[in-house]
């Protein structure tokens, strides 16, 4: 079983959360498509494991304070490991001021990890994330989040920070950083608001 030998699953989880800091209410767009490039680094039992991958996120509002999101990502790691994750969830958001929103995201995640010699393993789990979105001005937004993920009989807590540049009514460039235990993830993405 791969999950008993390799503890890099947090990379996929943090990467997904880093580039998908869900959007909030009135001054924030939560109708968008986003494409991301992800780089990660983790320490697995004293061995450094690097990864690179891509992800796509679709978020769509279904009520004034509720959005549904779908995330797909794939990442390749050292030693021929590959990971895929599909996440679907709901984002509840509320304004706490004209320029700040609080967001609670609850999602289900399906994860598969594979390696040619060890085979593959998959699991279904859940993610609960609490985030705060703050607009510095019309074209700069800073987001922070904390999340808890349960998969493969493990619970991972991660923290992240995002910088969104550009109008929430057009195209945005997003830079994100996430961390958990011995894992660090950096993501750069382009968001197309609609």
pLDDT in tens, 126-137: 999 999 999 999
Q: How far apart are CA 121 and CA 3, in angstroms?
A: 7
Q: How far apart are CA 131 and CA 91, in angstroms?
A: 10
As a residue count, the chain comes to: 194
Count of structural domains, the chain = 1
In the three-class reduction of DSSP (H, G, I as helix; E, B as strand; rest coil), residue 172 is classed as strand
Q: What is the pLDDT of residue 169?
A: 84
Q: How far apart are CA 138 and CA 166, in angstroms?
A: 8
pTM of the model: 0.84
CATH number for 28: 2.40.160.20
Domain that residue 42 falls in: 2-193
Q: Does the pLDDT value for residue 145 go beyond 60?
A: yes
Q: Does the pLDDT value for residue 58 go beyond 90?
A: yes
Q: What is the mean pLDDT of the chain?
A: 88
């Amino acid at each position: 079983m791969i999950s008993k030998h390799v503890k890099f699953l947090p990379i996929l989880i943090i990467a997904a959360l880093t580039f998908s800091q869900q959007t909030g209410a009135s001054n924030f767009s939560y109708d968008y498509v986003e494409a991301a490039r992800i780089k990660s680094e983790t320490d697995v039992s004293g061995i450094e494991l690097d990864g690179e991958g891509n992800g796509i996120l679709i978020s769509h509002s279904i009520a004034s304070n509720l959005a549904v999101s779908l995330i797909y990502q794939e990442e390749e790691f050292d030693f021929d490991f590959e990971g895929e994750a599909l996440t679907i969830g709901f984002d509840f958001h509320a304004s706490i001021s004209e320029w700040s929103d609080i967001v609670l995201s609850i999602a289900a995640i399906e994860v598969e990890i594979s390696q040619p010699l060890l085979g593959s393993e998959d699991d279904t789990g859940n993610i609960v994330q609490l985030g705060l979105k703050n607009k510095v001005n019309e074209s700069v937004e800073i987001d922070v989040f904390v999340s808890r993920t349960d998969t493969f009989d493990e619970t991972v807590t991660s923290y992240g920070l995002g910088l969104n540049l550009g109008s929430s009514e057009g195209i945005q460039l997003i830079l994100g950083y996430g961390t958990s235990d011995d894992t660090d993830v950096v993501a750069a993405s382009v968001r197309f608001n609609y």
